[in-house]
Structure 1
Amino acid sequence: MVPSLSASFRASSSVPLPLSARCCKYAGQSVRAVPIRILWVGKKRSRGVQLLFDEYIEKLKRYCNVEDVQIRSNPKNARDWRAQVDDEDNAMANLIRSDDWVVVLDERGQDIRSEQMAELLGDAGNTGASRLSFCIGGPYGHGQKLQERANISIKLSSMVLNHQIALLVLVEQLYSLKPSNVRCFETLFAASLENLGPSGALP
């Protein structure tokens, strides 16, 4: 129910942040919430990964609209890996609108902390973007087209992550941002809470 969600949201704001945490630059400000899309290249997920992924997505949907979009690996059955990357790149780029805020996940991207991820979400809301799109590439990474389209490129780890593991790390971070940076995120998610229906579910 919406009242219980709102109550727990307010109550959590009284919990002090850990000494090691830094509050993001949007703390205390009103930030427009935007829908989140997760675009990923790959095949069917394993049952265990799917169960855990679904659990995090359901939790996230209490605070914002989240869409899970799969792009088939090697969609044109290219024999050369460079052609495969280009095909996957084009397929993903075709799903991105001109007013999307695009975050590419890449091992060569910026190494950011959790509070910087919070600021990234705030930046997307303040730019007037219609959606925040996180892009996870296939086994050979992203092509030049998507890299040039990205508003920012970040890495989840200095190690190369399988796309299934990258998905879990991403959704866990997105969900954990709310309690760990609550002073910033209680305003960021406020607009999404207002859109919840009587049952507590997004329309």
Structure 2
Amino acid sequence: MMMNLFSSFEPGVTFNLPLNWMSTFIGLLIIPPMYWVFPSRHHILWTNIIFTLHKEFKTLLGKKTNGMTLMFISLFVIILFNNFMGLFPYIFTSTSHLVLTLTLALPLWMSFMIYGWLTNTIHMLAHLVPQGTPPLLMPFMVCIETISNIIRPGTLAIRLTANMIAGHLLMTLLGSTGPHLSPMLVNFLVMAQILLLILESAVAIIQSYVFSVLSTLYSSEVI
């Protein structure tokens, strides 16, 4: 029995074991082996999605891509798979935990910062003071820009986690009222749950796209 609503997001809530994190790799198991051998509609769809993302990320990064688009496309696919797997019943939603989202965001941000400060120090220092800032406000702008850079991995991680938790909690709250409703209201409840499921599917795509695009924009600032 759950003590509270948030206990459904605990890693060991099902079998009292941390094996629920294995759901991160379940997406690889549902891909049929023949997908990699013969072209199909799914293969063509994924190819079009990957090429579209490659063109967009290449535009954001500029000329100095050096294969970086592959990293951000992989990041998009990993988050997308985990977001969708969390919509299935009794499957652990790993992207609703800061442990996973910070693991994705923090190393990326650290690598961008280290690379920028070691290879392009003057550009990084100039980026702390926006163009056209009055000399009197320069110390304050340096503090503001420094804080905004430091909290970037946290905002990336919290944005993804909060959006995944919010929809799941709303569906849980509505679903828990089902046994106490009349048959007529249960029909409306089922329709509301279907609409919420469609909304959550859209949120899963949008949040994975936002995470990868923002990571691309952060990297383009230090190249």
**Shorter-chain TM-score range:** under 0.3
Q: Which has the higher strand share?
A: 1
TM-score by length of 2: 0.22
Larger Rg: 2
- With a CA cutoff of 8 Å and minimum separation of 6, indicate the structure with the bigger relative contact order: 1
TM-score by length of 1: 0.23
